[in-house]
A and B are shown apart, each in its own frame.
Chain A
Amino acid sequence: MTAPDNVTFRIRRYDPASQQPPAWEDVTIPYTHGMTVLDGLRVIKETRSATLAWRSSCRMGVCGSCGMFINGHPRLACNTQITELGTSLVTVAPLPNFDIIRDLVPDLRPMFDAHAALMPHIIRTDVEEMHEPTGEYFQTPHELEQFLQFTYCIKCGCCMAACPTVATDPAYSGPMPLAQSHRYNADSRDGGFGARKKVLATEKGPWKCHYAGECSQACPKGVDPARAIQLMKRQLVFDYLKLYKQPCPSKVTQKPTEVRRRPDVPEAPAATI
């Protein structure tokens, strides 16, 4: 699309203190080269509507704060060029499937509560080694591949906003928490499958996923939560049939002592931890 001279933002406004229902507000601003939706919102806040509220931080698609419903799709406002939308009318609303705190600010607490309940961290029995590491946990490149893509999740909530099951079933944990749970279940350094299973085997688990795949389509980081959920279902079915054996968490490996550094490779800096 050729760049427009002006862009009209149709913004969903809502202030719970006003006791008024949400309403649309149209604001037209001049387009500048390379303008993203977040840039446009900043211009509107600075020049037209100082009370407009949204959440953003890094402005480069890393922090996951600025997830919004832009022209009918969950996207990151900082990562969405106006020209990419193919129209000079930009409709911006808060992410669906969440309560609204104000204007474009969704209440993400249910998502993070579900995330925390699924223990998204390495669980091991050697707590002392985890706190005072004497080496590194051994992991092969193949083992890393099993979960690497799921580590790219930035918890923006776009997948939750796109999920048809989250829209109808409040008991369902949703794609982000489930994919992050699988990220740790699939990590060879982790031994927490049994602990997470106490939540995953209930109605909060992956069972309600229809495999619509909208979460994977919506993810701005290219993560595939739908795949994680299907892999998790398989793991849990095998577990029920006693066909799944939780691998032992990987052992601590020490630095090699008998290997000589090549003379053309500079010495590594001193360890900081």
Chain B
Amino acid sequence: MRDQRLWTWHVMAGLVILVFLGLHMTIMHLDAIVGIFNPADPHPIAWANVVARARMGFFTVSYIVLLGAALFHGLYGLRNILFELGPGRGVKSVLNVALTVGGVGLFVFGAWAAWAAGVLARTL
């Protein structure tokens, strides 16, 4: 049952990434039409716009959700590739633990960075 669960989450994470990819494309290339994500400057990666977005709670949450989805999606794919090399059951268990611990560690670090960026942006 675990493989069914992991695959379903893999697909769901892919959908989340797709949504955020759409958001990224909108911010970077369509904001001249939409006009809400780049309040300070017409150029989307201008420093003032980056700071303005970092102050918005919506973007802090978006960064954290995208980080979780991308990490799970990518690490599950990596796990599948490594498992196809034909490791034994013991090595598979070690890989499962290593990828889980590595993934959770990266998520915690990345989530902290996103949150800290938001806090820092509010002080500027």
Residues A202 and B8 in contact, CB atoms below 8 Å apart:
no
Residues B5 and A240 in contact, CB atoms below 8 Å apart:
yes
Taken together as a complex, chains A and B put the C-alpha atoms of A201 and B7 apart, in Å, by 10
Q: A237-B8, A237-B11 are in contact. Are A207 and B84 (CB under 8 A)?
A: no
B115 → A minimal CB distance (Å): 30
Question: Contact residues of B with A, CB < 8 Å?
Answer: 1-8, 11, 80, 83-86
Residues A202 and B85 in contact, CB atoms below 8 Å apart:
no
Q: Which residue of A lies closest to B6 (CB)?
A: A207
A202 → B minimal CB distance (Å): 6
Taken together as a complex, chains A and B put the C-alpha atoms of A197 and B1 apart, in Å, by 8
Residues A236 and B7 in contact, CB atoms below 8 Å apart:
yes
Chain B hits for A168, CB < 8 A: 84-86
Chain A hits for B85, CB < 8 A: 168
Q: Which residue of A lies closest to B11 (CB)?
A: A237
Chain A hits for B83, CB < 8 A: 169, 203, 208
Residues B8 and A201 in contact, CB atoms below 8 Å apart:
no
Residues B86 and A236 in contact, CB atoms below 8 Å apart:
no
* Residue A50 CB within 8 A of the other chain: no
Q: A169-B84, A170-B86 are in contact. Are A205 and B3 (CB under 8 A)?
A: yes
Interface size class of A (residues with CB under 8 A): 10 to 19
Residues facing B in A215-244 (CB within 8 A) are 233, 236-237, 239-241
Chain B hits for A169, CB < 8 A: 83-84, 86
Q: A237-B8, A240-B8 are in contact. Are A201 and B84 (CB under 8 A)?
A: no
* Residue A165 CB within 8 A of the other chain: yes
Taken together as a complex, chains A and B put the C-alpha atoms of A203 and B1 apart, in Å, by 9
Residues A240 and B84 in contact, CB atoms below 8 Å apart:
no
Question: Main secondary structure on chain A at its contact with chain B?
Answer: helix
Q: Which residue of A lies closest to B80 (CB)?
A: A208
Taken together as a complex, chains A and B put the C-alpha atoms of A197 and B8 apart, in Å, by 14
Can you add 13 more A-B contacts, CB < 8 Å, to A207-B3, A207-B4? A168-B84, A201-B1, A201-B2, A201-B3, A203-B83, A207-B7, A207-B80, A208-B80, A208-B83, A208-B84, A237-B11, A240-B8, A241-B8
Residues B3 and A240 in contact, CB atoms below 8 Å apart:
no
- A–B complex contacts, Cβ < 8 Å, 28 sampled: A165-B84, A168-B84, A168-B85, A168-B86, A169-B83, A169-B84, A169-B86, A200-B4, A201-B1, A201-B3, A201-B4, A202-B1, A202-B3, A205-B3, A205-B4, A207-B3, A207-B6, A207-B7, A207-B80, A208-B80, A208-B83, A233-B7, A236-B4, A236-B7, A236-B8, A237-B4, A237-B11, A239-B4
